[in-house]
Amino acid sequence: MNTNTPAPPPLEELVDFPAKLPIKAISHKQVSHDEFHAVLFALSCEHVPGVTADVLTIRPSSAGNYFAATLMITFETADQVRALDAALRAHPLVRMVL
């Protein structure tokens, strides 16, 4: 394992803000569509003012065991991206964030 791998560049160097970026989230099993939608929308509104419901799409997995969501949000700053990412990762209904 190479421990000398350089750190990735800061998001501010990769993206010009404001920027419309996708955030993907996967629910845990046994989470309802409505519950997952409500949580994702609430967290989005908390970290990115002015977010509307049309930024969020949710679809069930092929077996119906979990939901995959895409948030297509226009972020004003990299700090908003980091804050929403951290909030999603910390929430108990969210299994994974991409």
Domain assignment of residue 29, yes or no: yes
Given this model, what pLDDT does residue 7 score? 81
The CATH code of the domain that includes 53 is 3.30.70.260
Helix H or strand E segment including 68: strand 67-75
For the chain, the domain total comes to 1
pLDDT average, residue stretch 48-59: 94
Taking the C-alpha atoms of residue 81 and residue 87, their distance in angstroms, rounded to an integer, is: 10
Domain assignment of residue 10, yes or no: no
Which position has the token pair 């002015």? 50
Domain assignment of residue 56, yes or no: yes
Domain assignment of residue 4, yes or no: no
Domain assignment of residue 3, yes or no: no
Domain assignment of residue 6, yes or no: no
Q: Give the tens place of pLDDT for each residue, 85-95.
A: 999 999 999 99
Given this model, what pLDDT does residue 3 score? 66
Instruction: Note down the domain range covering 31.
Output: 17-97
Residue 56's pLDDT band (boundaries 50, 70, 90)?
A: very high
